[in-house]
Amino acid sequence: MTHTIQPNNPETTPAPDATDVPATAASAPRPAASSAVPAALKRRIPKYSDLAPLMQFKKPEFSKEARLKRASTIWELRDIAKRRTPQAPFDYTDGAAEAEITLRRAREAFLDIEFRPGILRNVSQIDLTTDILGKSSRLPVGIAPTGFTRMMQSEGEYAGSQAAEAAGIPYTLSTMGTASIEDVAAAAPNGRNWFQLYLWTDRDRSLELIERAAKAGNDTLMVTVDTAVAGARLRDVRNGMTIPPALTIKTVLDASYRPAWWFNFLTHEPLTFASLSRYTGTVADLINSMFDPTLTFEDLDWLRETWKGKLVVKGIQTVEDARKVVDHGADGVVLSNHGGRQLDRAPIPFHLLPDVKEAFTKDNSDAAIILDTGIMSGADIVAALALGADFTLIGRAYLYGLMAGGRAGVDRAIQILEKDMARTMALLGVNKISELTPDHVRLLNK
């Protein structure tokens, strides 16, 4: 049966009788207030059976695995790392140049955004895979090149490369790494290994490294171009940071409540830059004595002709330079200010990102845009992808995990970022990275 609702007709609808008029709120009788107390609110003596489920005390756990599991953010891994690592190596990782303004601004840039979520989307499945430089990566983040990594924790580059291999993401070995190109390739034979190069004044030495990287199966060469001279890393100066670390009264006292770090340091192979000759002095002195302040785009042309794999230029801080290195043969750029460790008050990569993306789009360029500096959560990564990055790199974020627990700590850092990314994308209403757009993020201040 179909029910049809007829409109009122004032000519046929009878006027209501006075008796049909409902009582108003003022004339209606009010119900008497109840004085009864609900049974659930009556006081009583608790029974043991009620208390027992609330008194399940968990046995304290002090293992490395339990410690890492309790960390749910990269910042919490940093706290653990600081407790377990002597001041000099921790500050080498944690610090930046001069007043550290650049690093602080880079991290604040990721905080100073507003996500714009979509609703009523089916987000039961989240796909974090992406393509970068011709190959697939299970996550849109890789491990950035970091120097002297075994100083932070004895497993160093071996832990980083093996964790990256297990996670299905790229690992980048630094020229100033403490494991050799060949040893990293052997430690992570099924991983996607990249090599970061500083062009030396001695081109034959640079060529030797390039050939070794190719022979070891590295498919991408990442040349860093923002180290004409060393930045003023004042924490290292104050700590007397040298290569290898010197045993002073201060360091011995610092070791007294961090015995695990010193036990590992003293019972493993001495620290050296594995790709370089043995060197004694400060990091700044090494950079200033070895790296070439006369580099030009002609040197990039030479490198493009020499290296047959993918070529990425790291340290891009202006739109003009991003365009120019692509014109000179780069397959991708890394928007980076060296983690704030070189020029203080340098441009912030996250702020630069939309302009570089717009320029590449106008140029019909398919060069990859990779971003680092300031990333401390998976939400940071998602924001970068939404604003135009093809990929991201983490340095300090994974090193905090390394210092907190070696290989297991790096695994934990990657797990935290993966969980963050998946949750953020689901809450934004997207299933895969290709669905992220600038509409999902609003920069509050730039």
Residues with catalytic annotation? 338
Pairing of strands 135-137, 130-132: antiparallel
Bridge-partner residues for 316, per DSSP? 335
Pairing of strands 141-143, 391-394: parallel
Q: Is the dihedral of CA 170, 175, 179, 183 positive or negative?
A: positive
Tokens of 139: 């996550």
Tokens of 44: 């009583």
Count, residues in the chain:
446
Q: Long-range contacts made by residues 79-84, C-beta under 8 angstroms, separation at least 24? A: 80/400, 80/403, 80/404, 80/405, 80/409, 81/399, 81/400, 81/401, 81/402, 81/403, 81/404, 81/409, 84/258, 84/260, 84/261, 84/403, 84/404
Q: Tokens 């003596």, residue?
A: 45
Tokens of 8: 């009122």
From residue 400, alpha-carbon distances to 6, 76, 151, 437 in Å are: 72, 9, 13, 30
Three-state DSSP class for residue 400: helix
Helix ranges (H only) for 216-348 are 234-239, 249-255, 259-267, 283-290, 297-306, 319-327
